[in-house]
Amino acid sequence: MLNQKVISSKSIFLIIIFIFKISRIVAGLVPDRAGHVAVINGNQIIFMGGSRFISPANPIRSQIRLYNLSDEVFSLSLSSQFSTSSPPYVDLSDTSARMKFGSEKGTAVLGGASKEIVFLIGGMQQNLTRLNEIDKNSNITSNQTFMIEEISKTYNMTSQLVFFYQPYGKSWSYLLDQKGTPPSRRRSTSTVIDSKGIIYIFGGRVQVDTGSPILVCYNDLYTFDTVLLSWNKVNAANVPSPRSHAAPVLLPSGKILYIGGVSQTQPGMEADLINMNEIPVFDTISSTWSYKYANQSILIQPRSGHTATLMPNNNEIIIIGGNSSTEHSIYFCSFLFSFLINIIHY
């Protein structure tokens, strides 16, 4: 059972991750998916998008097509206790809350003057209306090469990097009055928002699913002011190598740690996993990059797609899951304890 009154919001978020995975195994609930985004807004958590595996019994499933993107939106109330075996998800997808496209591997943060607007940054997009038409066209589905070509056209439907969702109005909008020049559309960025409503977007990648013929990782850093709706590119020396899937952690000192992920030496090359103990740090106060090396008391496999969350004591980070050469794992990162103390008081 889960009781919000005795657990901090950060701890709740970590527990919700477990609930989401448990629900997939135990209850087989509708929200079964991967690559989705989630935010806590007041006393509820909002899940959006993701990819859903196609059932083996479905004739559209093949070796080259195992999943479709989702445009669904769900909420889960944290205001009362519930069983982790059957979380009371509410499906909002039949309202204007449904996303404009199928979406995966973006990042969602709360911002704006009220700090209640959900900003969806980047990710893959898929035109599900067109995808449904393709599935009903036997001339396409009977020709695998043709089908691959047609499905590829359903991705990357717009150059818009940011969409925003208003939870209380349950509606999606484009940002029409942006100032400055936004970065190119991409996915798997390292994105956080500070207490002033400024989003920091670092790195990310493009490849076939985002409209690029080759894999390209980035190492540029942009900020987006969610109150003024203005973009700024940060030009600072000593920038890390191009990378994606790094897990960002914003410290109370204003420093952002980027943990793990994958890096690329040049466009078109494969991306390699990054040593988890080599941590780039961006100081949002001085706009400078530096590097720290965590003490290694246990072996932490390099990984991507993991989460990294600062604990309420501001001294420890929990890293959960991810993809590496070993099974998905959970680590309580006490090996970072002294390192984080030094960072916070740096």
Ranking 32-36, 154-158, 302-306 by mean pLDDT, the lowest is: 154-158
Check residue 25 and report its DSSP letter: H
AA letter at 189: T
pLDDT band at 337 (very low <50, low <70, confident <90, very high): very low
pLDDT at 168 over 80: yes
Residue 264 CA to residue 123 CA, distance in Å, equals 19
pLDDT digits (tens, 9 = 90+) for 57-79: 888 887 778 888 999 999 999 99
Q: What is the mean pLDDT of residues 15-30?
A: 38
Beta bridge partners of 45: 40, 76
For residue 329, what pLDDT is reported? 44
- pLDDT tens digits along 169-215: 889 988 778 899 999 999 999 999 999 999 999 999 999 888 888 99
State how far Cα 64 lies from the chain centre: 24
For the ranges 44-48, 168-172, 236-240, which has the lowest average pLDDT?
Answer: 168-172
Please write the tens of the pLDDT for every residue from 210-238. Answer: 888 899 999 999 999 999 999 999 999 99
Per-residue pLDDT, 6: 31
Q: Which two tokens stand for residue 345?
A: 């008081």
Which stretch of DSSP H or E encloses residue 217? strand 216-217
Q: What are the beta bridge partners of residue 34?
A: 51
What is the rounded distance in angstroms from the CA atom of residue 141 to the CA atom of residue 146?
A: 8
Is pLDDT of 284 > 50? yes
Q: Is pLDDT at 331 greater than 70 in this prediction?
A: no
Work out the mean pLDDT of the chain and round it to a whole number. Answer: 83
At 156, the pLDDT band (50, 70, 90 cuts) reads confident
Asked whether the predicted pLDDT for residue 93 surpasses 80, the reply is: yes
Q: Are 178 and 164 in contact (CB under 8 A)?
A: no
324 against 248, higher pLDDT: 248
Task: Check whether 336 has a pLDDT greater than 50.
Answer: no
